[in-house]
Amino acid sequence: MTALTVPMKQSMKNRFIPPTSAWLTLAVFVLFALAVPRFATFGNIENVLRIASILCIVACGQAIVLILGGIEFSFGSSVALASIMTVLMLPDLGVAGGFAAGAGVILLVGALNGALIARFDLPPFLVTLGMLMAVAGFAATLAGGLPIDAPLTDAFTWPARGRVGGVPVPIIAAVLSLIALYGLLTHTHIGRLWYLVGANSEAARLSGIRVRLTIFAGYIVASGFCALASVILTSRVGSGQPGLAPNLPFETIAACAIGGIPLSGGQGRASQVLCGVLIIAMMNNAVVLLNLPVAYQQLMMAAVILGTVVLQRASAPIQVMWHLLARRGGSQ
């Protein structure tokens, strides 16, 4: 077997291929930096990152579900329910307990989604869409239809407005989420199983993988990211709101798609989530800086989603070629 060690070493080289979305992100940044006044200032970039952080954290969860070949809509109302639950529990449980109660509710919704999808082979689209509506109805009933204000103590506003070493807490949370997603996907057992089940669930079953458990775990971990985001979101708005972030699931799916994660499952990387989120955040920011009507934001978003999906599709053969050339160079 000693003769086999040489090609083994070689195969470990050249693992990194720059994704199309990374170039795209760079291009968007350079374009806006040149064309949009006040875009490339330190204060503005920090602002962009802080606003993008919630989207980024939830998109990490969405990415896991997409890799599994599923989709998750219920984030849209579960963050609303969590905010209400947090505010209602504040008097009894204190700040930490309130946030934990809100996060717990989201984990519960995730577990319920996972159980229905994994155990009964129900389509994720319908299960999570149904859950989105059910949870929205429940949240509205619980709140009586109106936002409930929370006492704005320092501890309560810390997740949204605090700083650690000068860096805003939401940005730290988003970076940690991305690192956690990267670690889960590339360095853990369960992450590998998500890819296998998402790529071909029947082949995964026949390879001896517990497909249902893998799916169940995926929805719970995904809701964990959403739970983290809900803490920051509730802290930022300072109240329990039945209509808190209805577009969240769609924005996270858009971010993943723009980053190049296909909705067909089995593929997706943390770097793609980052790129997709950054592109959306920079665009929204540019619209504000240029004083364009908000409607432009939606039109631009639509154009970017369609444009990047087409671009990703067209660049797939180039990626394969890049891989082959890189390999050839590496083995010489």
Q: Which backbone phi and psi does 168 adopt, to 5 degrees? A: -60, 140
Q: Which pair of tokens denotes residue 27?
A: 């291009």
Q: Is 119 in the site for other proteins (CB under 8 A)?
A: no
CB of 54 to other proteins, least distance (A): 28
* Residue closer to other proteins, measured from CB, 97 or 329: 329
Q: Is 332 in the site for other proteins (CB under 8 A)?
A: no
- Residue 11, interface with other proteins (CB under 8 A)? yes
Q: Give the residue with the Cβ less far from other proteins, 164 or 203.
A: 203
Shortest Å, Cβ 13 to other proteins:
10
Residues 190-209 contacting other proteins, CB under 8 A: 190-193, 195-196, 199-200, 202-209
Residue 327 sits in the site that holds other proteins (CB under 8 A)? yes
Which of 141, 163, 324, 329 is close enough to bind other proteins by CB under 8 A? 324
Contact 125, 116 (CB under 8 A): no
d(CA 244, CA 175): 23
197 near 68, Cβ under 8 Å? yes
Question: Does the protein bind other proteins through residue 263 (CB under 8 A)?
Answer: no
**3-state secondary structure at position 292:** coil
Q: What is the dihedral of CA 202, 181, 225, 100, to 10 degrees?
A: 120
- Binding mask 149-188 vs other proteins (x if CB under 8 A, - otherwise)? -------------------------------------xxx
CB 24 within 8 Å of CB 311: yes
Please, are residues 280 and 48 in contact by the beta-carbon 8 Å criterion?
no
C-alpha 211 chain-centroid distance = 23
- Of the candidate spans 3-11, 141-149, 247-255, 277-285, the one that interacts with other proteins by CB under 8 A turns out to be 3-11
Among candidate residues 291, 298, 256, the one with its CA nearest the CA of residue 276: 256
Q: Which residues would be at the binding site for other proteins (CB under 8 A)?
A: 1, 4, 7-8, 11-12, 14-15, 186-193, 195-196, 199-200, 202-210, 266-267, 317-318, 320-321, 323-325, 327
